[in-house]
């Protein structure tokens, strides 16, 4: 592997004490490695209240404290929202209906139903179709020579699997992908909150109509299973089904795509790791875990303090917004040896990219299947890859990663 055209090194913030973590451009345009190192060392749980006109919130940077909060849903709840933007602007409208933003018995009941949809039989079927489709995509990209790896390869893999899981027709998958891309961020600065809201609304409308169709004529997919399921003796409501489809689309598509593209870029920039992987020294399964740690697509998770409590030695008041920064936890020196090194064979690897505790990502296993399919195909079909043009970054304060990766793939 080789870089070819060098990837642009992002600058550090001029004033690390004035970094506004709510600003999407901060995460796209700056290297926050030193910022997070200082946070972990000096103020692992700190109050972010220095931006005029913006509500303050807690920032949790250390792995141990992030894990502590994940383990305490009785103190740090998800029902008001699990993303900074929604928590700072009145809460999530899907509260109590979507797995990611529900707590207690409602969360446990719906989670049991959704997990039933990820049966071993369905995962096997999705794995087989995903591996076959991925091999074709990579083969075509190698035959063409040059491509944008995000647009031409990675963008098609998770959305196809998610749409198959949810019974979405193939003809609609590109439409769903475009909406998902706008709902949580942008490939360029300047996207408004209104743009994101419109995309989110269109996803909800689509799955509302989709669920109604499948309720009257169920097929062999997760949505059909949910339409015929009961919770507490009553049929599962359409709004619960729709919001959880929305969650699976956004969570299953964007994070996996960003992991795929960021993982290839990491292999290009670390040719010794590509050589170890290509030779078989590094198993696919270990590489996938290191890619997820290294890229950390979902850079934070939001919570609300449900009562006066303590975290990392700081007193937190009931109602305070608390943000858990996975991107910092995944580079914690007390947990990971040489955390700023990309090590495809890292073991153990206690990353938190899929969360932890009751809200551990319900689609984590499918995401691993998709990532494994991609890297196995790259190992089988690609001899060398190089970056051919500037790399684009994703603009969001929730998702982080590469939005475009122009490469040349050599057989």
pLDDT of amino acid 197: 80
Q: Mean pLDDT lowest for which of 178-187, 285-294, 335-344, 396-405?
A: 178-187
- DSSP alpha helices (H): ranges in 20-62? 24-29, 33-42
- Averaged pLDDT for residues 158-176: 89
- Averaged pLDDT for residues 312-332: 98
pLDDT digits (tens, 9 = 90+) for 116-148: 888 888 889 999 999 999 999 999 999 999 999
Tell me the pairing of strands 57-60 and 321-325: parallel
pLDDT digits (tens, 9 = 90+) for 299-318: 999 999 999 999 999 999 99
Instruction: Categorize the per-residue pLDDT at 390 as very low, low, confident or very high, splitting at 50, 70 and 90.
Output: very high
Instruction: Categorize the per-residue pLDDT at 191 as very low, low, confident or very high, splitting at 50, 70 and 90.
Output: low
Domains and CATH numbers, the chain: 16-383 (1.10.630.10)
Question: Is the model's pLDDT at 4 over the cut of 70?
Answer: no
Tokens standing for residue 90? 């009145």
Q: Helix 104-117 and helix 238-269: axis angle, to 10°?
A: 70
Q: Could you give the dihedral angle defined by the CA atoms of residues 323, 328, 334 and 338, in that order, rounded to the nearest 10 degrees?
A: 170
Instruction: Categorize the per-residue pLDDT at 270 as very low, low, confident or very high, splitting at 50, 70 and 90.
Output: very high
**Closest Cα partner for 141 from 295, 4, 261?**
261
pLDDT of amino acid 45: 98
Q: If DSSP codes are grouped into helix, strand and coil, which group holds residue 314?
A: strand
pLDDT of amino acid 8: 61
Residue 6, Cβ neighbours under 10 Å: how many?
A: 10
């Amino acid at each position: 592997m080789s870089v070819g055209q060098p990837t642009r090194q992002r600058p550090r913030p001029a004033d690390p004490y004035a970094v506004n973590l709510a600003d999407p451009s901060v995460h796209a345009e700056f290297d926050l490695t030193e910022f997070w190192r200082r946070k972990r060392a000096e103020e692992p749980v700190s109050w972010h209240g220095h931006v005029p006109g913006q509500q303050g919130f807690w920032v949790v940077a250390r792995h141990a404290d992030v894990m502590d909060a994940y383990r305490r849903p009785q103190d740090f709840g998800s029902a008001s929202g699990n993303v900074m933007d929604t928590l700072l602007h009145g809460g999530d409208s899907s509260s109590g209906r979507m797995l990611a933003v529900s707590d207690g018995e409602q969360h446990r009941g719906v989670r049991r139903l959704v997990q039933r949809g990820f049966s071993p039989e369905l995962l096997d079927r999705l794995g087989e179709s995903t591996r076959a489709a991925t091999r074709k995509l990579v083969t075509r990209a190698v035959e063409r020579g040059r491509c944008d790896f995000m647009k031409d390869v990675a963008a098609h893999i998770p959305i196809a699997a998610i749409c198959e899981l949810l019974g979405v027709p193939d003809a609609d998958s590109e439409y769903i992908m475009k909406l998902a891309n706008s709902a949580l961020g942008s490939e360029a600065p300047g996207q408004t909150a209104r743009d994101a809201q419109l995309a989110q609304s269109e996803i909800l409308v689509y799955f509302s109509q989709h669920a109604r169709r499948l309720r009257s004529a169920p097929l062999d997919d997760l949505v059909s299973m949910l339409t015929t399921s009961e919770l507490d003796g009553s049929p599962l409501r359409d709004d619960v089904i729709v919001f959880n489809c929305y969650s699976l689309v956004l969570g299953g598509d964007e994070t996996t795509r960003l992991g795929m593209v960021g993982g290839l870029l990491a292999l290009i920039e670390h040719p010794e790791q590509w050589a170890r992987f290509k030779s078989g020294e590094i198993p696919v399964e270990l590489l996938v875990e290191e890619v997820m740690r290294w890229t950390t697509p979902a850079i934070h998770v939001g919570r609300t303090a449900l009562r006066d409590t303590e975290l990392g030695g700081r007193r937190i008041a009931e109602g305070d917004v608390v943000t858990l920064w996975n991107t910092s936890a995944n580079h914690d020196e007390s947990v990971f040896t040489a955390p700023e090194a990309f090590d495809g064979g890292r073991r153990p690897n206690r990353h938190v990219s899929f969360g932890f505790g009751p809200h551990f990502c319900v689609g984590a296993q499918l995401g691993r299947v998709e990532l494994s399919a991609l890297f196995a195909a790259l190992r089988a079909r690609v001899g060398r890859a190089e970056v051919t043009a500037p790399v684009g970054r994703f603009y969001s304060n929730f998702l982080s990663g590469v939005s475009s990766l122009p490469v040349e793939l050599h057989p």
